[in-house]
Amino acid sequence: MRRSRAIIIGVLALLLFASCGQRYQAKQLVKDFVKEHATEEIDISSFSDLDSTKVISDSLLQEMRQRAEKDTFFKDVKLGSIPLSTTLLYIRMRYQLPGDTLEQSRTFYFDKDLTGIVAFK
């Protein structure tokens, strides 16, 4: 009985640490993207938890990618290739422009292996 409890606790702890690692990786991808492509500096206030979605269709993904090319906040945007999987991971970044009190947000979408940002809005 004790041994099975220890195994269950160990597995849960392992899952918790794995998800924290993915969230950290996603945050780093977004921070690097913002640092490289933002047209002005921003103050990042927070990130949401990393989550997954299956409701982003191919056409919606294409639309977000086309809008990304015209986005004036980011320049020279290079996005990752469109994943074959229907599942995307996403994280929301909350930020403020310097001297502004209004908090804004952007949502970034990743392939399931977190190899790069495939779209944002």
Model pLDDT for residues 2-16, shown as the tens digit of each residue: 666 656 665 544 444
Model pLDDT for residues 33-73, shown as the tens digit of each residue: 999 988 888 889 999 999 998 888 888 989 999 998 888 88
DSSP SS3 for 63: helix
Sign of the dihedral through C-alpha 75, 116, 89, 12: negative
Task: Output the furthest CA–CA distance in the chain (Å, rounded).
Answer: 60
Residue of 83 and 32 predicted with greater confidence: 32
CA proximity to 90, closest of 29, 42, 44: 29
- pLDDT at site 16: 46
Q: For the chain, what are the domain ranges?
A: 2-120
